[in-house]
Amino acid sequence: MPQAVIAPSILAADFGDLAADAQKVIDLGADTLHVDIMDGHFVPNMSIGAPVVKSLRKHMPKVFLDCHLMVSEPEKWVQDFASAGANMYTFHVEAHANPAALIEKIHAAGMKAGVAVKPGTPVEAVLPFADKADMILIMTVEPGFGGQSFMPSVMPKVKTLREKYPNLDIQVDGGLGLGETIETAATAGANVIVAGTSVFAAPDRKAVISGLRQVVNSKY
């Protein structure tokens, strides 16, 4: 199993001082920043877009920006995010009829490609593309809003992917923090951990980041 990657979601950061707040969690040990992009159509909420990614890139030239596109037509925005400086472009399998072609387009634009799966979508939907993608994201909440409760019922998807693809980066996103949720996710085989509120709202962010990493890396 690959090493732990801790990816705080900036959806929970201070948007009035976003670059500085995001840099703090990197300085405290986070590996990447998870950037949630929502269009108000694919999910019932709106967030940020490529201009914010471009601004973050200007302030954080070396930080890995993991962009999660919760949008209806993900093929439209590939070049915009590549130009803005995104490193990972993750789209939802439910939002595109030809995921393999979109993965190729993302790679051609110079980014890594991730494929996300909603809680109600069977893992079989991504199995044909798992060896082409750089990461598979198993949503552990319904996409669209931060602060939701972790859904352990989706863990069999993570376990299936880990058994079939031992070296694959498997991301989980939603309701994760120290305690039962990270233990459950890591035991199933997740290694890329998105944590928003549990990191940004923590009195000791460094302890949360290191604690999440320790649990994941203890599982193998």
Q: Rounded to 5 degrees, what angle do the CA atoms 124, 1, 100 make? A: 35
Catalytic hit among 31, 134, 169, 173: 173
Is 147 annotated to bind a ligand? Reply is yes
Is 36 annotated to bind a ligand? Reply is yes
Is 173 annotated to bind a ligand? Reply is yes
Judge whether 169 counts as a catalytic residue.
no
Is 40 annotated to bind a ligand? Reply is no
- Judged by DSSP in three states, 115 sits in strand
- Measured CA to CA, the distance from residue 50 to residue 78 in angstroms comes to 10
Is 68 annotated to bind a ligand? Reply is yes
Q: Rounded to 5 degrees, what angle do the CA atoms 61, 132, 10 make? A: 35
Catalytic hit among 27, 31, 36, 134: 36
Is 107 annotated to bind a ligand? Reply is no
Q: Rounded to 5 degrees, what angle do the CA atoms 3, 183, 10 make? A: 65
Is 90 annotated to bind a ligand? Reply is no
AA letter at 214: Q
Joined together, the tokens standing for residue 10 give 């900036």
Judge whether 134 counts as a catalytic residue.
no
Q: Which residues are annotated as a binding site?
A: 9, 34, 36, 68, 144-147, 173, 175, 196-197
Q: Which residues are annotated as a binding site for substrate?
A: 9, 68, 144-147, 175, 196-197
Q: Which residues are annotated as a binding site for a divalent metal cation?
A: 34, 36, 68, 173
Q: Which sequence positions are flagged as catalytic?
A: 36, 173
